Structure formats: structure tokens, C-alpha cells
Amino acid sequence: MAAIPESELIINKNGTVYHLNLLPEHISDTIITVGDPERVPMVSKYFDEIEVEVTKREFITHTGYYKGKRLTVISTGMGTDNIDILMNELDALVNIDFRTREPNEERISLKIVRVGTSGSLQESIPLGSHLASHYGVGLDSLMEFYPLEQTEDEVSITRALKEELGVGFTPYCVNGSKELIDKIAFDMVPGNTLTCPGFYAPQGRVLRAGLRNQNLLQSYQNFRVCDFQLTNFEMETAGYYAMGRLLGHEMLSLNAIVANRITQEFAPNAEEVIDSLILKTLERI
Ligand code: R1P
Ligand code: URA
């Protein structure tokens, strides 16, 4: 294969990848990702030792050891546009030779676990739950640009959701890693996570700007295809799952339920709910 041009894979003068500011040796093959940059030290404070600390934009990276296992934690900021950058650059760090700019013959598959916050779409999933995304359903436009392959079942879910919402685009639907679910999330609430391109109107929230579709939240809550229902929403999961499928990485999204949109409550102990999810993840990853 021809070398990837300098404008496509941008390598900084110090040899680091453009946005993440990382060298290949800076990361483990087992990675925890968080949205909030301030959540990175909430994870790495449990490490025995931190060996790498790198910051650029919203991407803060700490690599170290938890009970002897080498782990990386990275913040992404919010939204699937950042996940596009994160996943391509992490993949480049392990699967492209920065010297020749050619993909390596041998492919490395990363294990990537998102530990994020989320809002519940069902009354039966209360505040404080830890929910594992068995599927991610994306309402964002990222997959308009990639040749994502979906199963028949996934496509039928996306078609039904397009019709239910009356939108002019087709959502996408991708599953998470069954192996990671069995290993890390065996006792968590199983769910199907809706990834929204925003926190307010796309999640049915009205402050002053209004909503085009007054029934949006009810449509999300009541959507069914056979026994498939949407359980919660946030802003990254489907992007992770789709990029993981495209690039061959094992993905799992874990959600600390801090809001319930049906009962209209917000968790007073949100930090504790996240902290206990972090600890479970560190112990099991
Ligand atoms: C919105 O408040 C943010 O919280 C959720 C959403 O996906 C979005 O990024 O995740 P994090 O808590 O990981 O940021
Ligand atoms: N993150 C979201 O995106 N939505 C919520 O309701 C809570 C956290």
C-alpha cells in the first residue's frame, strides 16, 4: 500500500499524532474513555503509578498501572465528531507505522471501554443504575461518511426509527462487544443507547429555543421493534461502536444513569454513581 500523505495522517514535529498528541508507546491496548476531562484524574487516582500524562485540547491522557495491569484513560469531550478523531488516531497509533506511513501487516485490536453519564428513557431504569449498551443507535451524521455494514436486524431498527421520528436522515445501529459485556457488565442493566447530536432539543429538552417535534421524548420512550427498545441516551456510544466495527476494535459503553427524563429527576449523588462505575470497570477490565 502507498504511504499515507502528510495531509491525511498528520504527525506533529515531535512524532506525536495530530490531536491526541501521543506517541505509540504512550498508550496501552486497554483503554478507558471518559467525556469530561476532569474525570481522567478521577480514574487515574486509583492507579498504582502514572507513567504518562499528556494534554491537548479536550484530550487528556494518563497511562499507568492498576493492580499491575497497564491501562490508559483518555478524555474525549462531547459528541461523535470527537469520537471520529479519537478512534482514527488511536487506531493509527497501533496500526500504522509512523516512519513509513503505511498500515502494519499485523493488526492490533484495542479494548476500549467508555465510562460516561447518561439519561434514562424508561421509568424502570432508575437514577444510580449502571447500564451497559448492548446496542448504540446513532442520530448523528458521522456514518453518512463511512462504509459501515449493518446486519438486517440493525437496518430494520434504523428504518423503523426514521419512520417513527419522521426525520430526513437514516439513523445507524451497531452492537457492542459481547466478550466485554460478559467480562465487565454481567451484572449491569442491559440497554440500547440512543446517541444524540446534542444535549437539548435532540434529547427533547426545552429551555427557551423550543422543539420541532413536541412528542420526541415519548417517541424515544415508546419506540419498539420486536423486543428492542431504547433505554437511555447520551452523545457518543453509537459513534464508538460504529468506528470500532470499521476499524476492528472491541468496544463497550458503560453508562452511569444520572438523569431520568420520564420521572424528571437528576441524581443528587451523580459523582458517587460515576465513581462506583469507574471502580467496577477498573476491577474487571
Ligand atoms: C453531556 O452532558 C455529556 O455527558 C455524557 C454525554 O454523552 C455527553 O458527553 O457523557 P460523558 O459524561 O462521558 O461526557
Ligand atoms: N448525558 C446526556 O447526554 N444526557 C443526559 O440526560 C445525561 C447525561
| β-pair type (224-225, 228-229) | antiparallel
| Ligand 1 centroid from CA 78, angstroms | 6
Question: Which residue lies with its CA nearest to atom 9 of ligand 1?
Answer: 78
Which numbered atom of ligand 2 lies nearest the CA of 119? Answer: 6
Instruction: Give me 260's grid cell.
Output: 431520568
Which numbered atom of ligand 1 lies nearest the CA of 33? Answer: 13
Q: Which residue has the cell 499524532?
A: 17
Phi, psi of 64 (to 5 degrees): -165, -160
Residue to mutate (ligand 1; options 75, 78, 86, 133; most atoms within 8 A of CB): 78
Q: What CA–CA distance (Å, rounded) separates 38 from 134?
A: 27
| Ligand 2 centroid from CA 191, angstroms | 15
Ligand closest in space to the Cα of 266: 2
Q: What CA–CA distance (Å, rounded) separates 125 from 119?
A: 10
Q: pLDDT per position in the chain (285 positions), as tens?
A: 789 999 999 999 999 999 999 999 999 999 999 999 999 999 999 999 999 999 999 999 999 999 999 999 999 999 999 999 999 999 999 999 999 999 999 999 999 999 999 999 999 999 999 999 999 999 999 999 999 999 999 999 999 999 999 999 999 999 999 999 999 999 999 999 999 999 999 999 999 999 999 999 999 999 999 999 999 999 999 999 999 999 999 999 999 999 999 999 999 999 999 999 999 999 999
Q: What CA–CA distance (Å, rounded) separates 160 from 111?
A: 31
Residue to mutate (ligand 2; options 234, 264, 271, 277; most atoms within 8 A of CB): 234
Instruction: Give me 114's grid cell.
Output: 467508555
User: DSSP readout, 126-152?
Assistant: -TT-EEEEEEEEE-SSGGGSS-----H
Question: 254: which strand partners?
Answer: 115, 132
> Residues with Cβ within 6 A of ligand 1?
34-36, 78, 116-117, 199, 234-236
> Residues with Cβ within 6 A of ligand 2?
117-119, 199, 203, 233-235, 258-259
Asked if 160 contacts 225 with a C-beta cutoff of 8 angstroms, the reply is: yes
End-to-end CA distance of the chain: 35
Domains of the chain are 24-284 (3.40.50.1580)
Question: Which residue lies with its CA nearest to atom 4 of ligand 1?
Answer: 117
